[in-house]
Structure 1
C-alpha cells in the first residue's frame, strides 16, 4: 500500500475575535508577512552595526532611515504583489471585474510582482535619501529568504499552492475538492507534492543560508550588487525546478493543455512561474558579472 501523509489538522486562522457584529481573524499568512519583515529588519540592523562588512567600511544607511524604508517595502510588497497577480495570472477576470482588484483579503498575490514593487520602492527611496541603490538592494535581498520561508510554510498551512499528484512516500493528501480532483484516483486518496515545503527549503532556508554566509564570511556586501545577483539566480533556479512538480493555476489548464503551461508548442513549454523566473536568472548573472566594477 502506498505510504501517504494526511494533511495535519491546522486552521489557517490563529484566532478570531467577534467585534461589533463582525469577525476579525489573524491568519498564519498575515503573520508570516509581519514576522518576515520584522525578522529581516532586525537582521539588517545587526549588520549595520558591523561597518567592516560594507563598502568603504561604513554602513550605507542609518537605523532611522531603515525604519522609514520599512514603509516603502511594505507598500511595494502589497501593491506590487497584487498588481503582479492581476497582470501575470488573471488579467481577463479582473478586467471584467475591476472592483475585485481591491479585495486583497480574498488572496491573489504574486511573488514576482511583489519583487518588482520592492525594487521600485528601493530605487525611489535610494534616490530620495541619496543611498547607493545596489548596496541597499543587497541588504534587502539578504533577508528576503526569511519572508519566503515563513510565507511558504503559511501556504502549506492554508492548504494552497500544492503540487501535482505523486506516489512518493512524502506525498500529502490535501483537503478540498480541487486538491482531490485527480484523474484516475479515488477522492480522498490523491496525494500531492508538498511543493510549498520544497520552496520553503530551497528559496527560504538554503538560499537564505547562502546569502548570510556570503555577507558575513565572504565579504559579499563589499561588492555592491553581488548578493542581489545571487538572490535572483538562486530564487529563479529554485522556482524553475519546483514548477516541475507544482500544480499550475487553474486558468492555464485546459483539455489540450493538462500541464497548465503558459507558453507551449505541441505540449512542450513553460509554466508562468518558469517563464517569469528565466529573466530573473539572466538578470542575476549580469548583476554578478558587473558587481566587481562597483566594488569600493
Structure 2
C-alpha cells in the first residue's frame, strides 16, 4: 500500500491557486514547442518558421483547452452549466477531456495550416510525437490532483488518495506508462514514415486501443460495461483503422 500525500496546491493566493496539475500541463506544452522547433530546424515542417511556430502554439493552446473543457462538461458534468458555470474557467481545478482536447487541437491546427497554406497532415504528424509525451505527464498531473483513480483493490502497489476511501488502482500511473510506450512507437514511426499522415493516424489508432484497455482500471460510470471515455476511444480506434486501410488501398 502506498499513500499519496502530495498536496495538490503549490501556492494558494485566495481566489487563485497554483497547482502542480497546471504546472505539469504547462510543461507539456513547452515540450511540444521544443520538439516542433527541433523539427523545423531539421526541415521536417515545410513552410513553418520559428516565428510561425509561436503562432501555432497559441492556436493549439486555445483549441486544446477550449475543446477539452467543453467536452468535459458536455459529456461528463453537464449540470455545471446551470449550477456553477464559473467552474468552467477554473481549469486549475482539473477537468480536461482528452477527446475534446484532441478535436480542439486538430481544428486549431487545421485552421492555422489553411491560413498559412501548410500541409495539415505534416503538422499533425509532428505534433503527435510530443503530444504522447505530454499526455504521459498529464496523467502524473492527475495523480498529484488526486483524481481519476481506479477502483478498490488489494494489489501491493495500491494507492490511498486524499479524495477517495480505501486503497485503489493507480490508474493515472498505468495510463502514463501506456502514453510513454505510445511516445516511443510514434517517435519510431515518424522517423521512418514516407507519407504524411502516417504518424497522426498511428496516434489516433494506438491511443484509442491503449485508452480502451487501461480505462478498465479507472473508476467511472459505465453503460453495458464500458465508460464514456472507452466509447469515444473505440470511435478513435475504428476511425484510425478505417483511414489506414483506405490509405493502403489507394
- Calculate the TM-score normalised by the size of structure 2: 0.92
Kindly name which structure, 1 or 2, has the bigger radius of gyration based on alpha carbons. 1
Distance 1:110 1:92 in 2: 16
What is the Cα deviation at residue 235 of structure 1?
Answer: 1.2
Structure 1 residue corresponding to 2:10, chosen from 14, 20, 26: 14
**What does 1:38-117 correspond to in 2, within 5 Å?**
38-51=30-43, 54=44, 59-95=46-82, 97-117=84-104
* Alpha-carbon distance, 1:228 to partner: 0.7
* Offset of residue 96 of structure 1: 5.1
The count of corresponding residues between Structure 1 and Structure 2 is 250
User: C-alpha separation between the residues in 1 aligned to 2:127 and 2:246?
Assistant: 19
For residues 35 and 91 of structure 2, the distance between their equivalents in structure 1, rounded to whole angstroms, comes to 28
Q: Secondary structure at the match of 2:18?
A: strand
Paired residues of 2:80 and 2:87 also in contact (CA < 8 A):
no
Of the candidates 159, 165, 168, which is equivalent to residue 192 of structure 1? 168
Which is richer in helix? 2
Q: Return 99-108 or 133-142, whichever deviates more.
A: 99-108
Give the whole-Å Cα distance in 1 for the aligned partners of 2:139 and 2:37: 25
Cα distance, 1:39 vs. partner?
Answer: 1.1
TM-score by length of 1: 0.78
1:289 lines up with 2:245 in the alignment = yes
Matches within 5 A, 1:247-266: 247-248=219-220, 260-261=221-222, 263-264=223-224
Three-state SS of the structure 1 residue aligned to 2:64 is helix
Aligned-pair Cα RMSD in Å = 2.0
Tell me, which stretches of 5 or more residues in structure 2 are unaligned?
Answer: none
Instruction: Please give the alpha-carbon distance, in whole angstroms, between the structure 2 residues aligned to 1:96 and 1:156.
Output: 27
Residue among 36, 48, 64 paired with 2:28: 36
- Compared with structure 1, are the counterparts of its residues 103 and 43 closer, same or farther at alpha carbon in structure 2 (3 Å cutoff)? closer
